[in-house]
Amino acid sequence: MLKLIEQGKLGLKRPLVEYLGRVLNPDEPRFKQITAWHVLTHTSGIEPQPGEGRPPKLEFAPGERFQYSPHGFDILQLAVERAAGEKITPMMERMLLRPFAMTRSAFGWSEEFANFGARGYESNGARKQTFNERVWRMSAEERARLLARYPLESVPNAAAGLHCTASDYARFLIEVMRPAKDGFHLSPEMLTQMLTPQVRVGESDALFWGLGFGLQRPRAEPESFWHWGNWGIFQHYAVACRDESSALVVMTNSSGLLACRDVALRALGYEQPAFEWLTGG
């Protein structure tokens, strides 16, 4: 997203409806205010989960406050693809996966994942599929019927379409904080903007959101940027420290958020304020 902004194909604070070419909800004029900045900082107000067979809704005015919204990225994805004139899968391959040598990563699904990928399990040991896996294992006809009920949903989707290994994602974090003007890395100016606090997360004095990443700013500990993944059965945590050029990625195939916290504490030696928000205190 930020590379496309640097290339002049997108505007950070230009209304997304100008790229989409459609009205998202005729009964909600505030959708015309939403920009990429709102989505990246999770201040769009877009409801977190889409409703089946109905237009998206806003829970508050854009820019009013922080509320994590993966559905906002579904809408942003459609705008990005129209503005760039390219679907997200080849775009990710060309601009990110190949340049950063993420050889065990892909956007979408393959039989390799079916044969060798991690399987998700409930706490009682029962096997469980994510929505993505269930959709990819459908026939083309079944998939089309399902997605017809969710007109703004894409497969694969930007919010949860990446399949990768922990080492590949750690490589991504290392590369993303190395500024360069080579067409793939961010410029020093854009990198600084990405990692600058844009909005406070909750009531914490140490937790903020930048352009896409969460930011930790504790007084006595190193500053870091982070994100997490949560499909209910797959729970992950990734954190990187630009000053130390280091990154940690923990992936689990069950409800492992607390395990991620414990590993991060042992590996890094300092608290992660993100978990206070992720676990509700």
DSSP string, 72-107: HHHHHHHHHHHHHTS-HHHHHIIIIITTTT-TT-EE
Residue ranges per domain, the chain? Answer: 2-85, 99-281
d(Cα 253, Cα 123) in Å, to the nearest integer? 10
Is omega for the bond preceding 55 within 30 degrees of 0, making it cis? no
pTM: 0.92
Task: Name the percent of the chain lying above pLDDT 70.
Answer: 98
Q: Which of 38-42, 147-151, 247-251 has the lowest mean pLDDT?
A: 147-151
Q: What is the pLDDT of residues 56-100, one digit of tens each?
A: 899 999 999 999 999 999 999 999 999 999 999 999 999 999 999
Mean pLDDT along residues 238-267:
94
Tell me the pLDDT band of 281, cut-offs 50, 70 and 90: low
Q: What is the pLDDT of residues 160-202, one digit of tens each?
A: 888 899 999 999 999 999 998 888 999 999 999 999 999 999 8
d(Cα 17, Cα 46) in Å, to the nearest integer? 14
Task: Name the percent of the chain lying above pLDDT 90.
Answer: 63
Within the chain, strands assigned E span 106-107, 120-121, 127-128, 162-163, 199-200, 207-209, 214-216, 224-230, 235-241, 246-251
User: What's the topology of domain 99-281?
Assistant: Beta-lactamase (3.40.710)
Which position has the higher pLDDT, 130 or 101? 101
**Which of 11-27 are b and which e, b meaning 16 or more Cβ less than 10 Å from the residue's Cβ?**
bbeebbbebbeeebeee
